[in-house]
Amino acid sequence: MWGRLNVYTISIFVALGGALFGFDIGSVAGITGTDQYKKFYGNPLGTTQGIITSAMAAGSIFGSLSSSFVGDKYSRKTSIQIGAVFWCIGATLQSASNGVAMLIAGHTIAGLCIGLTSALVPIYQSEIAPRKVRGRIVVFQFFAINCAIMVQYFIEYGCSLLNSEAAFRLPLAIQSIPAIILFIGLFCVGRWDEALRVLAFLRTTNKDSNDPLVIAEYREIEDQIQSERDADEVA
């Protein structure tokens, strides 16, 4: 029971990586319509606003393409933490931007996080989850995205009532909070990724943690541990 509870708890927590994507979607959609945003950035329209909006997607392309070798080299957990650092840097640049160029740079750097976490969070969730619950575990990622969009809309509605630059700067700055929580909290998360790397080192010549035989043995060990815990509870 406790092992399964831990899997759910960790998976829900790690889904904060997906929530960052939702915060980005909500922030871009919300602040661009405020008078304060238009006034400060010179009412960007057409190509200019398109570049601002698409900068996150551009960064996410590079983040997602690099997620495979970054995740294999540094582990899923550490790579998600790297993404959280990128997010905090990007959010800081966005909230403190003094012009369109700095805003675009912030969106691009934040996009690196989106690419990494969107690819690695579901992988990490599926790797730590037993086969029977793997589908519902991965759903947490997408649920977190939609919840974050809704939360960010409420934040932006409240900030829109402010008659200052805080109307768009505050929502952008608040985005850093879940990333900071995610970064710090992952230090307390279980060490499944390290166990997988050890198995890959012992069982394969190229240290491939995605090797089917390594994954199968990893699951067998995990199931055995769970069976022993269940037996202890019955006793």
One digit per residue, the tens of pLDDT, for the chain of length 235 reads 434 447 788 889 999 998 999 998 888 888 988 899 999 999 998 899 999 999 999 999 999 999 989 988 888 889 999 999 999 999 999 999 999 999 999 999 999 999 999 999 998 888 777 777 888 888 899 999 999 999 999 999 999 899 899 999 999 999 999 999 999 999 887 666 677 776 677 667 777 777 888 788 777 877 776 676 666 556 5
Claim to verify: residue 206 and residue 175 sit in the same structural domain: no
Give the number of domains in the chain: 2
Claim to verify: residue 150 and residue 45 sit in the same structural domain: yes
pLDDT confidence of residue 195: 74
Claim to verify: residue 147 and residue 213 sit in the same structural domain: no
Domain hosting residue 11, numbered range:
2-189
CATH number at residue 71: 1.20.1250.20
Claim to verify: residue 169 and residue 210 sit in the same structural domain: no
Claim to verify: residue 168 and residue 214 sit in the same structural domain: no
Claim to verify: residue 210 and residue 114 sit in the same structural domain: no
Q: What is the DSSP string of the chain?
A: -HHHHHHHHHHHHHTHHHHHHHHHHHHHHHHTTSHHHHHHTT---HHHHHHHHHHHHHHHHHHHHHHHHHHHHH-HHHHHHHHHHHHHHHHHHHHT-SSHHHHHHHHHHHHHHHHHHHHHHHHHHHHHS-GGGHHHHHHHHHHHHHHHHHHHHHHHHHHTTSSSTHHHHHHHHHTHHHHHHHHHHGGGS--HHHHHHHHHHHH-SS--TT-HHHHHHHHHHHHHHHHHHHHHHH-
Claim to verify: residue 150 and residue 220 sit in the same structural domain: no
pTM over 0.85: no
Claim to verify: residue 124 and residue 225 sit in the same structural domain: no
pLDDT confidence of residue 3: 45
Claim to verify: residue 212 and residue 179 sit in the same structural domain: no
pLDDT confidence of residue 190: 65
Claim to verify: residue 198 and residue 225 sit in the same structural domain: yes
Claim to verify: residue 117 and residue 48 sit in the same structural domain: yes
Claim to verify: residue 121 and residue 170 sit in the same structural domain: yes
pLDDT confidence of residue 211: 81
